[in-house]
A and B are shown apart, each in its own frame.
Chain A
């Protein structure tokens, strides 16, 4: 098993946010997050008061669902995506072969097929960025020492 290690540059984040911006403006989505299989939040939109906290939680829960789904996937040999709906909203998650995911929450007034289409399109645009991030060998904590932490 490989050690998963990557460092995402500010430039990567900008590119990812741009893809999310297009996704959000194309269809009515409440929140869109990009995270990795470990539940680390990479980018999210829309920005705003308290939205970071919500995005963090959404990301961790999405990753956990995908982690559990991964086990089911071994049984059903399905694609790695997930959909669930409540009374007013629904959630769709799609994971990339690079083990990053896009998770979106949207109103039930928005057609699921449209959401899938645009999320798939966003994933295709993000795939080269994800590939670049994964292939970039890096020390996760360059220049960081324990005694530099204010703890």
Chain B
């Protein structure tokens, strides 16, 4: 079975786990497994994974899609590089309620991996911060979605777009 590994990255509390939770409920029929290793406060420690299998038309084969979110806190940076090096594509979640420099520092961690692998940007929490046009411009020609993950807005679109970009990228071509 072929498999795609997509990593959701961003600052702590940006909404990565909320994205995976929403996708887990929307794609209930595709879900194989979901687990989340968290602290008592609900913060991701290491494992936050949603595993799905998508049927390929005209084939008995299914495409396995593994979504993994990273522990967002700065102290986990040493383990993130291992996760990044294994990814086929990335979703970077921008938290507009936190300072842009902090968001860009987190985005910068992806730099060495995204020269050959696709990345889709999701500006989350637009239900709290209305205007995000200036933020969009920062990411240049990257695909950018606005979202409110806790309300499920923009989550599905973000996922389908990174999935499409990963498949079109071919990975390893």
Contacts and interface: CB of A to CB of B under 8 A. Distances in A.
A133 to B, nearest CB: 12
B35 interface: yes
A131 interface: no
Interface residues of A, number: 33
A40 interface: yes
Interface string B95-116: 0000000000000000011001
Interface string B1-43: 0110100000000000000000000010010110100000000
Interface of A is mostly: loop
Contact of B56 (A6, A39, A70, A148): A148
Contact of A70 (B30, B32, B82, B113): B82
B116 A148 contact: no
Contacts of B135: none
B63 A144 contact: yes
A64 B44 CA distance: 14
Contacts of A39: 66, 86
A137 B56 contact: no
Given A3-B171, A141-B170, 14 more contacts: A1-B113, A5-B172, A37-B86, A38-B86, A39-B86, A56-B32, A57-B33, A67-B79, A68-B46, A68-B79, A71-B79, A138-B172, A149-B55, A151-B163
